[in-house]
Structure 1
Amino acid sequence: MTGTFTISLDLELHWGGFEKWPLDQAKRSYFDNTRELIPELLRQFEQYGVHVTWATVGMLMHTKKSELIENFPALKPRYKQSELSAYSFIETQGIGNNEEEDPYHFAHSLVKKIPDYKGQELASHSFAHYYCNEEGQNVKEFDADCKAIQYAARKYNQDLQSLVFPRNQFNADYLKVCHNNGIKIVRANPVDWWWNTADGALKESKWKRFNRGLDAYFNIGGKTSYTSQAIKKEENVYLLPASRLLRPYNPKETFLNQKKINRIKKEMSIAAQNGEFYHLWWHPHNFGLYPEQSMKGLAEILQHFKSLQNKFNMRSLNMSEIADKLDKTALSNTTPIS
């Protein structure tokens, strides 16, 4: 049995939190650092042979505002809390005319690099950072959003096959729409209760966030690696559980920074030894405050993968590659991949 290591990244820039992050000078610097890191991340992943799914907000895929507006879906999410809408943000706060003028809401020059690197998959994080568990929106509006990002991806000669729900608002009722729009696999949340996102973006309790953070350092949750039997299929879409959020370097955490890296390495080792899946994820902008230190921690993880590859023949696959493997296994009616 062969263990599988996968990474999925939520590429959002300011679209990931426009409703709560004023775009002041500090936040601009944060996203400037993020943009500088992305080419280095691509080089590092290729160097270590790590295949990654880059779940990207569709609005970032455009070169200019007029093109973005032209690609708006006819149906837009009618959230009860209108501040959650990217369209409302554009109307009330405004964005620049192109990437040169506004590199926080446009990222064509970065997005186009992704498919050029071996094993890197361009995937969907919805067109407009769509929240699937918020009051007011509905499945028809989500369907329009799915169609809009697939249309945007055609400029890159890509048919998006993988999806990560923004803010991890997994909604099983929307899986049929995903399938109808070409999606074969989505990232599912870890099983621990603090990853339940049914409450929506603005109602999440501090207690839930506290436990989620605590679990990064101490073993208060369940086992993070899993066999192929744990990858369920609903409405013809595979549900690939997340294992662990890679939290960035924090100077206030002293020894805890290394503790969380060591914990991830230990979990990867368990997956490699048992022939299981291990699914790491984060947002590239998480590295925006302390990029050098955060990249150092990531390098340690990537080097550990190479050692597991050499010792246990561990492999790396992106999400769509995992879906392809699962499909082939089902067609051949052999033992599920693990």
Structure 2
Amino acid sequence: MNGHFIISLDYEIHWGVFDKKTVDDYRENLINVSKVVDRLIELSDTYNIRLTFSTVGFLFAKDKVDLFRYIPKNKPTYKIENVNPYTLLEHIGHNENDDPFHYALSKIKEIKNNGNHEIGTHTFSHFYCHAHGQTFEQFDDDIKASVDIAKTLDIDIKSIVFPKNQINPDQNFDKPYLEACKKHGITSFRGKEKSFIYNIHSTKKYRNLLIIRLLKPLDAYFSLTGSNTYNIKEINKNSIICNIPSSRFLRPYNTKLKFLEPLKLRRIKKAMKHAAKHNETYHLWWHPHNFGVNMDKNFENLENIFKTYKKLNKTYGFQSETMTGLSSKIK
């Protein structure tokens, strides 16, 4: 099997950052998400690249009444209340027209009707699997809700990206969560990079050590952890559902660090070439709201990456695929 290029997008708008930032704190990034999605689709179609939009289930609702229709009775009981999105529901608008930060039905329909891309789940409520107080039963109900609300658009959810990447399939206590995904028809998930700096369990006290917080951004520009490409069949010999680990978070354009942008792109393109030459997989990801500011610069960088993909596709047969498309090939 040839090498593969995977792009997954954590499509969440405000639901992904509400516990850290208000709408006003992050307004420019959030208000431009719709434009970003349009440009992502247009550019990816130009280069024949397929995207996986891992979408928070709340965004599927046509209005607040519709949203409450799908909310599970067994909601998460996080010990830290400010990470619970359900506390925000009474404050959001009635529908997408008066609140584009918490609804996205029209854009989801556009993605679906395009036909080239996949809509997966980012859980129904941006569920934190490692947060203290939540339970497996609550997660199971959350996934059921995300699958059910998508079915109203004839969308069959087959892939999942866990919020904050809070899953580690090598830990016994996480295996039931993957079993729940399988039970509800999900066939693949985005796992973590191999390096220890990406695999510290989010409930551990040392997750915020300064050295860890420094190494991650440095790794975007300098090869601290290698290419992070992999043989997809080798890592899935004993998987409950298909693990398609991330290779790199595409950090948004940073005006203060613009002198490092060439290094960031070189790191990504070099790893893509390694994957193409060795018939491995390279999985790039980010959030659409990351592109909400410096939009033109971000898309300039992305087109640079896409041009590299086209060359690798022609030279090595490197193939763009959705998460579900790749998991189907493995089967």
Inter-partner Cα distance in structure 2 for 1:57 and 1:279: 20
1:146 is aligned, of 143, 146, 160, to 143
1:199 alignment partner in structure 2: 202
Q: Quote how far apart the aligned CAs of 1:291 are.
A: 0.6
Inter-partner Cα distance in structure 2 for 1:49 and 1:232: 27
Counterpart of 2:119 in 1: which secondary structure? strand
- Correspondence 1:131 to 2:110: no
Once the two structures are superposed, the pairs formed by residues 165-204 of structure 1 within 5 Å of their partners are 165-171=162-168, 172-173=174-175, 174-200=177-203, 204=207
Inter-partner Cα distance in structure 1 for 2:289 and 2:207: 21
Call closer, same or farther: CA 1:202–1:34 in 2, change over 3 Å.
farther
1:232 alignment partner in structure 2: 236
2:188, 2:244 within 8 Å by CA — same for their partners in 1?
yes
- Correspondence 1:109 to 2:109: no
2:233, 2:330 within 8 Å by CA — same for their partners in 1?
no
- Correspondence 1:65 to 2:64: yes
Q: Which amino acid aligns with 2:73?
A: A
Q: Quote how far apart the aligned CAs of 1:89 are.
A: 2.2
- Correspondence 1:10 to 2:10: yes
Q: Which range moves more in the overlay, 26-35 or 315-324?
A: 26-35
Q: TM-score, normalised by structure 2?
A: 0.94
Inter-partner Cα distance in structure 2 for 1:155 and 1:202: 41
Q: How many aligned residue pairs are there?
A: 324
Unmatched tracts of structure 1, length 5 or more? 328-338
Inter-partner Cα distance in structure 1 for 2:229 and 2:46: 24
- Correspondence 1:211 to 2:211: no
Q: Quote how far apart the aligned CAs of 1:118 are.
A: 3.9
Q: Which amino acid aligns with 2:45?
A: E
1:46, 1:117 within 8 Å by CA — same for their partners in 2?
no
Counterpart of 1:50 in 2: which secondary structure? coil
Call closer, same or farther: CA 1:254–1:245 in 2, change over 3 Å.
same
Counterpart of 2:284 in 1: which secondary structure? strand
Inter-partner Cα distance in structure 2 for 1:201 and 1:261: 32
Unmatched tracts of structure 2, length 5 or more? 169-173
Q: Which amino acid aligns with 1:103?
A: P
Inter-partner Cα distance in structure 2 for 1:201 and 1:159: 35
- Correspondence 1:245 to 2:249: yes
Inter-partner Cα distance in structure 2 for 1:233 and 1:240: 12
- Correspondence 1:321 to 2:296: no
- Correspondence 1:53 to 2:56: no
Q: Quote how far apart the aligned CAs of 1:65 are.
A: 0.9
2:86 alignment partner in structure 1: 87
Call closer, same or farther: CA 1:152–1:203 in 2, change over 3 Å.
farther
Inter-partner Cα distance in structure 2 for 1:283 and 1:209: 19
Q: Quote how far apart the aligned CAs of 1:232 are.
A: 2.1
Inter-partner Cα distance in structure 1 for 2:298 and 2:93: 30
Q: Which range moves more in the overlay, 226-235 or 255-264?
A: 226-235
User: 1:179-223, CA deviations, whole angstroms, 9 ceiling, x for partnerless residues?
Assistant: 001110000000111212522499841432221111000111133
Inter-partner Cα distance in structure 2 for 1:295 and 1:201: 36
1:336 alignment partner in structure 2: none
1:58, 1:126 within 8 Å by CA — same for their partners in 2?
yes
Inter-partner Cα distance in structure 1 for 2:237 and 2:179: 11
Inter-partner Cα distance in structure 2 for 1:230 and 1:252: 40
2:232, 2:244 within 8 Å by CA — same for their partners in 1?
no
Counterpart of 2:193 in 1: which secondary structure? coil
Q: Quote how far apart the aligned CAs of 1:268 are.
A: 0.5
1:175, 1:235 within 8 Å by CA — same for their partners in 2?
no
Inter-partner Cα distance in structure 2 for 1:132 and 1:284: 22
2:54, 2:121 within 8 Å by CA — same for their partners in 1?
yes
User: 1:5-29, CA deviations, whole angstroms, 9 ceiling, x for partnerless residues?
Assistant: 11011000000010110221x5222
Q: Which amino acid aligns with 1:111?
A: I
Q: Which amino acid aligns with 1:194?
A: I
Counterpart of 1:227 in 2: which secondary structure? coil
Inter-partner Cα distance in structure 1 for 2:239 and 2:219: 31
Inter-partner Cα distance in structure 1 for 2:22 and 2:200: 24
- Correspondence 1:257 to 2:261: yes
Inter-partner Cα distance in structure 1 for 2:137 and 2:87: 19
User: 1:232-287, CA deviations, whole angstroms, 9 ceiling, x for partnerless residues?
Assistant: 25563011111111111001112211210111011101111111111111111111
2:171 alignment partner in structure 1: none
Call closer, same or farther: CA 1:231–1:35 in 2, change over 3 Å.
same
2:95 alignment partner in structure 1: 98
- Correspondence 1:291 to 2:295: yes
